[in-house]
Amino acid sequence: MATTTAPVQLDRNVTEFLRQPRKMLIGGKWVDAVSGKTFETCNPATGDALARVAEGDAADIDLAVKAARRAFEDGPWPNMSPAERCRLLWKLSDLMDQHKEEFAELETLDNGKPVFFSRIVDVPQAIEMFRYYSGWATKVEGTTVPISSPLGKFFAYTLREPVGVVGQIIPWNFPLIMASWKLAPALAAGCTVVLKPAEQTPLTALLLGELIMEAGFPDGVVNIVPGFGETAGAALAGHPDVDKIAFTGSTEVGKLIVKAATGNLKKVSLELGGKSPNIVFADADLSTAIPGSASAIFFNQGQCCTAGSRLFAHKSVFDKVIAGVADEARKFRIGPGIDPSTNQGPVVSKEQLDRICSYLESGKREGAKAVVGGNKILGNGYFVEPTVLVDVKPQMKVVREEIFGPVVTAIPFDDPEEIVKFANDTVYGLASAVWTRDISKAHKMAAKLRAGTVWINCYNVFDPALPFGGFKQSGWGREMGYDAIELYTEVKSVCAQL
Ligand code: NDP
């Protein structure tokens, strides 16, 4: 593993953005927190302070919900035609495109991810999400329904209406992408929103807020309140005037969101953790399966809810697959994400680094062996070595729990029936993958895997049109595609006697 250190000149607008303390967006205005409090975000590559941000809590959430309610019920938003909403979403995507370098650099500085990936994955995917859902704004339709009542003749139809004021709580691993997955369908459906970004990574959501206002969205349609989960997040999840809460994050906090939502029985959608099986059969094309399996776990420093963190390889190819994935890990250029030659950055925070290291310790204590990696990288930033663990047993913590770091456990298998049992032996069910040249086997596996996504001979392929979400404790509901329009709408039946 090599390290990178090249000095980098930041975009002028990024330097300016970081210099100013960042406010929150409520009712179309950039305001300080009611408490006057602020917090610092840090650069995970150095541990240094990056920007100062207004710290929202329950009082600010309440103001933001009131602004969202006003915008939902009065003013221009509810009277806008679907075509006008379509044009606003498209205009926002164009503005994002004009600011794509600022987004990429800010995302990298705040989260740590290599700017190479921010440029080719995070920013373009977020822009495409708004483009895709701008098209849906004009296609949210009801149906006509034949009625068979003996009481007479009726004309009945359904309307699909926005669910109302939506609270959205997002994590730090793909901050801009997560903001776009949440905002784009909600706005296409005609909802108004209070968005709470993660405390570690609020910056790109705040830049997005500026462009939302520049695009011409009416005041209060989108409100952005940075702050902490236990205060701002909990207040949003429990707020009696929020109609729906959409959350992405840990399964543990997902359960708290469900409890908080019971007060007014707001609708809830959840995209939670995973421990995804990545299965390499003996007949796989190893020239794609090996780099694909490495990328499945190491992409984004392993901080993906879909990370292929349990690698199963047929015993006849196990040694070759493990050696190949370990070689891929050794090739990484590790360093500050802002260096364009880096392809493995720091993890997001000291807390996350400590958490990953405690899993590495637990693995070693329980008898796992690191073929490559296994340690944190000393220095000021939050770096950890990409790690492949072998000699692991199904009951070990490293096999059962989401590590959310660049750590994969590798297990050989023999019998194809047994592998289905192994793969499904988890409380999670977010994603999975199979690598094989046998198309029939691939589709049989796809039917048997209990996961919201099955990738065949690929990994982490996303598209705004392809629904995404989890079985079991990986979540409720599906984001993207038409499924996300359903998340943000209510169906109303209208029945008229003729
Ligand atoms: P959390 O689930 O705590 O964070 C996700 C979001 O929820 C953040 O905006 C957070 O706020 C907010 N939040 C935290 N507590 C509450 C609460 N009581 N009520 C409402 N909102 C709340 O994840 P962590 O950052 O703590 O990461 C811990 C683990 O979670 C990771 O190691 C990983 O396993 C998993 N995770 C999974 C993700 C996924 O995509 N499925 C994404 C991120 C983490 P804030 O951070 O601002 O305090």
Is residue 497's pLDDT more than 70? yes
Q: Ligand 1 atom 29: the closest Cα is on which residue?
A: 250
Say what the pLDDT of residue 418 is: 92
Say what the pLDDT of residue 165 is: 99
Q: What is the mean pLDDT of residues 141-152?
A: 98
Q: Which helix (H) or strand (E) holds 189?
A: helix 175-189
Select from 79, 81, 92, 108 the least CA-distant residue to 14. Answer: 108
Report the C-alpha gap between 495 and 423 in whole angstroms: 48
Q: Ligand 1 atom 43: the closest Cα is on which residue?
A: 249
Q: What is the pLDDT of residues 419-462, one digit of tens each?
A: 999 999 999 999 999 999 999 999 999 999 999 999 999 999 99
Q: Ligand 1 atom 15: the closest Cα is on which residue?
A: 229
Report the C-alpha gap between 149 and 147 in whole angstroms: 6
Q: Which atom of ligand 1 is nearest to the CA of 355?
A: 32
Which residues does residue 387 pair with via DSSP β-bridges, in sequence order? 407
Q: Which of 42, 86, 191, 305 is catalytic?
A: 305
Select from 39, 36, 11 the least CA-distant residue to 115. Answer: 11
Contact partners, residue 418, CB within 8 Å, separation at least 6: none
Say what the pLDDT of residue 253 is: 98
By CB neighbour count within 10 A (0-12 exposed, 13-18 middle, 19+ buried), where does 365 fall?
exposed
Is residue 47's pLDDT more than 90? yes
Mutation to probe ligand 1, out of 57, 253, 272, 350 (largest number of atoms < 8 A from CB): 253
Report the C-alpha gap between 128 and 352 in whole angstroms: 30
Mutation to probe ligand 1, out of 250, 299, 403 (largest number of atoms < 8 A from CB): 250
Question: 350 CA distance to ligand 1 centroid (A)?
Answer: 15
Q: Ligand 1 atom 19: the closest Cα is on which residue?
A: 234
Q: What is the mean pLDDT of the chain?
A: 97
Strand ranges inside 325-394, DSSP E: 333-334, 369-372, 376-377, 383-384, 387-390
The answer to pTM > 0.95 is yes
Is residue 232's pLDDT more than 70? yes
Select from 295, 285, 168, 141 the least CA-distant residue to 224. Answer: 168
Say what the pLDDT of residue 355 is: 98
Say what the pLDDT of residue 4 is: 61
Of the pLDDT bands very low, low, confident and very high (cuts 50, 70, 90), residue 3 is low
Is residue 7's pLDDT more than 80? no
Say what the pLDDT of residue 5 is: 60
Structure tokens at 294: 């490495």
Q: What is the pLDDT of residues 56-115, one digit of tens each?
A: 999 999 999 999 999 999 989 999 999 999 999 999 999 999 999 999 999 999 999 999
Say what the pLDDT of residue 8 is: 82
Question: 26 CA distance to ligand 1 centroid (A)?
Answer: 23
| CA dihedral sign of residues 32, 33, 35, 40 | negative
Say what the pLDDT of residue 417 is: 85
Q: What is the pLDDT of residues 287-346, one digit of tens each?
A: 999 999 999 999 999 999 999 999 999 999 999 999 999 999 999 999 999 999 999 999
Higher pLDDT, 417 or 388: 388
Question: 91 CA distance to ligand 1 centroid (A)?
Answer: 31
Say what the pLDDT of residue 2 is: 58
3-state secondary structure 115-175: HHHHHHHHHHHHHHHHHHHHHHCCCCCCCEECCCCCCCCEEEEEEEEECCEEEEECCCCCH
- Catalytic: 271? yes
Question: 321 CA distance to ligand 1 centroid (A)?
Answer: 33
- Catalytic: 86? no
Select from 99, 265, 126, 105 the least CA-distant residue to 184. Answer: 126
Q: Which atom of ligand 1 is nearest to the CA of 172?
A: 43
